Amino acid sequence: MPAAKHQDHVWTRRSALTLLAMLPIGFTGIGNAAECVDPASLSAAQKSMRKSLGFRAPSADAAKRCSVCAFFTAAQPGCGKCALLSGGIVPAEGLCDSWAKKG
- Does the pLDDT value for residue 17 go beyond 80? no
Domains recognised in the chain with CATH numbers = 33-103 (4.10.490.10)
- Does the pLDDT value for residue 29 go beyond 70? no
Report which DSSP code applies to 69.
Answer: B
CA distance 20 to 31: 20
What CA dihedral angle connects 14, 28, 62 and 69, to 10 degrees?
-130
Query: Which residues, 6+ apart, have CB-to-CB distance to 84 below 8 Å?
Result: 49, 53, 71, 96, 98
- Does the pLDDT value for residue 20 go beyond 50? no
CA distance 69 to 55: 13
- Does the pLDDT value for residue 19 go beyond 90? no
Q: What is the mean pLDDT of residues 3-31?
A: 48
Q: State the pLDDT at residue 35.
A: 76
pLDDT digits (tens, 9 = 90+) for 30-74: 444 447 888 899 999 999 999 999 999 999 999 999 999 999 999
Q: State the pLDDT at residue 22.
A: 43
CA distance 75 to 12: 38
